[in-house]
Amino acid sequence: MSAARIWLQATRPRTLPAAVAPVLVGTAVAATDDVFSVLRFLACLLGALFIQVGTNLSNDYSDARRGADTEDRLGPVRVTAGGLVPPKAVLVATWISFGLATLCGVYLVAVAGWELLVVGVASIAAGVLYTGGPRPYGYAGLGEVFVFVFFGLAAVAGSAFAQLESWPLDAIILAVPVGLLASAILVVNNVRDMDTDRRAGKNTLAVKLGREKARTVFAAMVYGAFVIAPVPWILGELGPWLLLCWLALPLAVPLVTFVRQHTDGPSLNQALARTAMVQLVFCVLLSAGVMAS
């Protein structure tokens, strides 16, 4: 395997739509007020991607140190635990990614306001402490909560703030379905890894709940996103075009069934990628609906 392919694997590209999707929705909300800056949008997009990559690399490094990534795990080989990249190199790449995210954040703080400094610092800290630090919250079953907060609420509302320099209610409401779908990606990941996680002492939500209940949570997150998306229309803030996101239901319904019926690694790897794609399609359609409203 080439070095470029190894590093691409380390970034976990299947998870990257979770960074793109909320930026699209938050920016679309701002566009309803006829406000759009290309540079601010790109800074939000790149910043979110670098935070996601940094989080993935940090997780790769920390899980290897804690013994959570073993040879019998069902997911793709992790580059640190698999000996593909020296731990020090992964750690350096982690901080380079977070450093690049910080540069994007510096620009956004300069043009939009200090509030984004709080969002950025908290997001990077959450990425590091997911599996790093003395008490990683990912090992205490709180991973989905933090994903919901930072890849839902913070990312959508923060992207809208970067354009408007205010916190529109519509962005906060629409951050909920975006965060639910982002959290669903992590649920699939943790359902796949629950046996090896349990042996390593990584008490994820899936480990705590068990496979069947975790699958139910996954279904509730996916379907809940579709239920909550029209709320701004119901409240009278936006229009019925928000229902465009329901066009993603033909992708979501079979996915929920698929996750309920499979336990093997290759199938759940596929489910993880499909969940990320459902989120991206959902958010593209939701963004289009927001702007059409």
What secondary structure letter does DSSP report for 74? S
280 in Cβ contact with 184 (< 8 Å): no
Please determine, for residue 71, whether its predicted confidence score (pLDDT) is greater than 90.
Answer: no
Residue-level pLDDT at 74:
60
- Residues 293, 239: contact at Cβ < 8 Å? yes
Give me the DSSP letters along 187-234: HHHHHHHHHHHHHHT---HHHHH-HHHHHHHHHHHHHHHHHHTTHHHH
With cut-offs at 50, 70 and 90, classify the pLDDT of residue 85.
Answer: confident
So what's the pLDDT on residue 197? 87
Q: Are 271 and 218 in contact (CB under 8 A)?
A: no
Q: What is the largest CA-CA distance in the chain?
A: 55
pLDDT at 1 over 70: no
pLDDT band at residue 81 using 50, 70 and 90 as cut-offs: confident
Residue 8 pLDDT level (bands cut at 50, 70, 90): confident
What's the predicted TM-score (pTM) here? Answer: 0.92
Q: What is the mean pLDDT of the chain?
A: 92
Residue pair 14/280 in contact by the 8 Å Cβ criterion: no
Mean of pLDDT values over 94-115:
96
- 17 closest CA partner among 247, 193, 248: 248
Which domains, from first to last, does the chain contain? 3-292 (1.10.600)
Measured CA to CA, the distance from residue 84 to residue 96 in angstroms comes to 19
In whole angstroms, give the CA distance from residue 27 to residue 271: 28
Q: What is the DSSP letter of 235?
A: T
pLDDT at 19: 93
CA distances from 70 to 82, 86, 237 (A): 8, 16, 50
Q: Residue 18 and residue 158: Cα distance in Å, rounded?
A: 15
Please name which of 177, 260, 267 lies closest in space to residue 214, comparing C-alpha atoms: 260
Q: What is the pLDDT of residue 70?
A: 54
pLDDT tens for 267-289 read: 999 999 999 999 999 999 999 99
The pLDDT tens digits for 10-59 are 888 888 988 999 999 999 999 999 999 999 999 999 999 999 999 999 98
> According to the model, what pLDDT value does residue 65 have?
79
124: tokens are: 């990077």
- Please report how many Cα atoms fall inside a 13 Å half-sphere around the Cα of residue 163, on the Cβ side: 27
Higher pLDDT, 11 or 215: 215
Helix axes 169-200, 211-228, angle to 10 degrees: 170
CA–CA separation, 84 and 121 (whole Å): 30
pLDDT in tens, 165-198: 999 999 999 999 999 999 999 999 999 999 888 9
